[in-house]
Amino acid sequence: MLSVIKLRLLRLRDEWMIFVFMTAMALGFTAIFGASFTTYKPTVYIVDEDKSYYSQALISELNTYKDFKFKEADIKAAEKDIEEGNVSMGLLIKEGFQRNVEEGLSISLGIMKIKDDTVILTLQEIVSGITMKMAGANRIADVTAAFIQSAKPDSDFEKIRSSSYDNVMDSWKYKNPIFVKATVAESGIQAGYDGLMHSMIGFTLFFSMYTMVFGIGTILYDKQHKTWERMLISPVSRTGILGGSMIVAYITGAVQMGVLILSGKYLIGIDWGNSMAGVLLVSAAFIFAVTSLGLMMTGFIKTQAQLGSIAPIVLTSTSMLGGCMWPLEIVNNKALLLLAELTPQKWAMQGIESIASSGMGFEAAILPSMVLTVMGITFFTIGAFSLNKQSI
């Protein structure tokens, strides 16, 4: 087995560029996607047809939300840019907006869009909340002004009403009656979806798979150049040949994932959570599963050229299903979610993200690691059987 390990390591010396390239790709894509998560602000056009005090107050309130970029525009420019896809959506403040607010009537705002997405739904909720707050403040101002005028008939109703409205809105701005802060129990880590973290984990798993699969795929090179047959008749057992190949592919994958984890921590500033041991356990089980998957693919593929054509399809599609590219929480199709359960990426993402993003401890790594180990044993068994059958 040692001679096989030495032979595989010597071959890796000639293919070190693949290792470096895949590592750089993972870090590069993480940096790009991470920057997009932190700097992207969808543009929203505001068409103000009412041109009133209340419409301008609504626009001022919207501008306090820094996750959006609001721009005032006329109706024709808004329709044109939205239809061409240059702007996410437009908000139409219809004529009569102030009258409806003052008289307590139903407030109707127009939404210009070409499709529904989470950004538009979020903005609709924000606008709805602001208009409800404005309507409530207006009713309070009316009651306050009426009460003061009943006590002091010579007081200025409109002045009191305007002052009361401003005070109520100011109170909402600086003295919110309810403040909710969500934290994970006994961890001190803020809960929620972290786009940068998800990208780092997803791209680490995705690109390291190529190195592992093509690492074990050297068996196809040996077959193509008749080295495999000579190795089979050598004093080295088949177990030693497969074991040596698996060990080198495993070590290669472990080194690459280790580099990516450390790079994420020290170069990008990723916090891997409360249990680095749990992250490493899931990573170790994932490397075994993917290396075994590569062995299984090698058992059914005849040449390295075929592996180069088939592996990207398999790895990319399973990574998409497994949630490396986007969170599975946004997927509603039950068939796709069922298929995701059959991919190693899904379980690795679940284990590492539970620790790194959700503040869980080592216990979050146990089930994913067990599932990945079972997958690895299954893939290895099928691959070893197929290779042995071809050698008979």
Closest CA to 87 of 106, 98, 73: 73
Q: What is the pLDDT of residues 194-217, one digit of tens each?
A: 666 777 788 888 888 888 887 776
pLDDT of residue 194: 61
Give yes or no: residues 159 and 234 share one domain.
Answer: no
Q: Residue 23 domain-assigned?
A: yes
Q: Are 369 and 282 in contact (CB under 8 A)?
A: yes
DSSP state of 183: B
Give yes or no: residues 274 and 200 share one domain.
Answer: yes
Predicted confidence band at 284 (pLDDT cuts at 50, 70, 90)?
Answer: very high
Q: How many domains does the chain have?
A: 2
Point out which residues pair with 89 in neighbouring strands: 44
Question: For the CA atoms of the chain, what is the radius of gyration?
Answer: 30
Q: What is the pLDDT of residues 64-78, one digit of tens each?
A: 877 788 888 888 888
User: Lowest-confidence range among 2-6, 25-29, 365-369?
Assistant: 2-6
Question: Between 382 and 5, where is the model more confident?
Answer: 382
Give yes or no: residues 244 and 146 share one domain.
Answer: no
Question: Between 188 and 46, where is the model more confident?
Answer: 46
Closest CA to 108 of 116, 96, 118: 96
pLDDT of residue 281: 93
CA distances from 27 to 9, 196, 278 (A): 25, 11, 22
pLDDT over threshold 50, residue 240: yes
Q: Residue 179 domain-assigned?
A: no
Q: Residue 299 domain-assigned?
A: yes
**Distance between CA atoms of residues 30 and 234, nearest Å:** 45
Q: Residue 140 domain-assigned?
A: yes
pLDDT over threshold 90, residue 5: no
Average pLDDT, the chain: 78
pLDDT of residue 372: 94
**Distance between CA atoms of residues 139 and 160, nearest Å:** 13
Q: What is the pLDDT of residues 328-382, one digit of tens each?
A: 877 778 888 899 999 999 999 999 988 887 778 888 899 999 999 999 999 989 9
**Which CATH number does the domain housing residue 67 bear?**
3.40.190
Residue with tokens 């060990």: 247
Give the CA angle between residues 373, 259, 299 to the nearest 5°: 40
pLDDT of residue 265: 80
Q: What is the pLDDT of residues 83-125, one digit of tens each?
A: 887 787 888 888 888 888 777 777 778 888 877 666 677 777 8
User: Lowest-confidence range among 102-106, 173-177, 183-187, 240-244?
Assistant: 183-187
Q: Residue 135 domain-assigned?
A: yes
Other beta carbons within 10 angstroms of residue 1's beta carbon come to 15
SS3 111: strand
Give yes or no: residues 378 and 251 share one domain.
Answer: yes
Give yes or no: residues 21 and 105 share one domain.
Answer: no
**Alpha-helical regions (H) of 40-187:** 53-62, 75-83, 97-103, 118-151, 157-174
Q: Residue 182 domain-assigned?
A: no
Closest CA to 115 of 92, 94, 93, 85: 85
> Quick one: average pLDDT of 41-54?
85
**Distance between CA atoms of residues 8 and 25, nearest Å:** 24
Give yes or no: residues 28 and 48 share one domain.
Answer: no
CA distances from 324 to 180, 202, 263, 372 (A): 31, 4, 18, 16
Give yes or no: residues 206 and 144 share one domain.
Answer: no
SS3 192: coil
Write 52-56 long-range contacts (CB < 8 A, 24+): 52/97, 52/98, 53/98, 54/97, 54/98, 54/101, 54/102, 54/134, 55/93, 55/97, 55/98
Sheet with 89-93, side-by-side order of all strands: 69-72, 43-48, 89-93, 110-112
> Quick one: average pLDDT of 307-320?
88
Domain range enclosing 102 = 43-174
Give yes or no: residues 197 and 329 share one domain.
Answer: yes
Q: What is the pLDDT of residues 285-301, one digit of tens each?
A: 999 999 889 888 887 88
Give yes or no: residues 47 and 79 share one domain.
Answer: yes
Q: Residue 181 domain-assigned?
A: no
Question: Between 52 and 193, where is the model more confident?
Answer: 52
pLDDT over threshold 50, residue 324: yes
Answer with the one of 174, 204, 221 that is the final residue of a domain: 174
Give yes or no: residues 143 and 25 share one domain.
Answer: no
pLDDT of residue 182: 47
Q: State the burial class of residue 196 (Cβ atoms within 10 Å of its Cβ: 0-12, 13-18, 19+).
A: buried
Give yes or no: residues 298 and 374 share one domain.
Answer: yes
Q: What is the pLDDT of residues 380-389, one digit of tens each?
A: 899 888 877 6
Q: Residue 49 domain-assigned?
A: yes
pLDDT over threshold 50, residue 317: yes
Torsion, Cα 155 156 161 162, to 10 degrees, reads -140
pLDDT of residue 190: 42
Give yes or no: residues 149 and 197 share one domain.
Answer: no
Answer with the one of 144, 174, 204 that is the final residue of a domain: 174
> Quick one: average pLDDT of 245-269?
81
pLDDT over threshold 50, residue 184: no
Residue with tokens 């127009």: 110
Quick one: tokens of 143? 């009651």
Residue with tokens 């401890």: 361
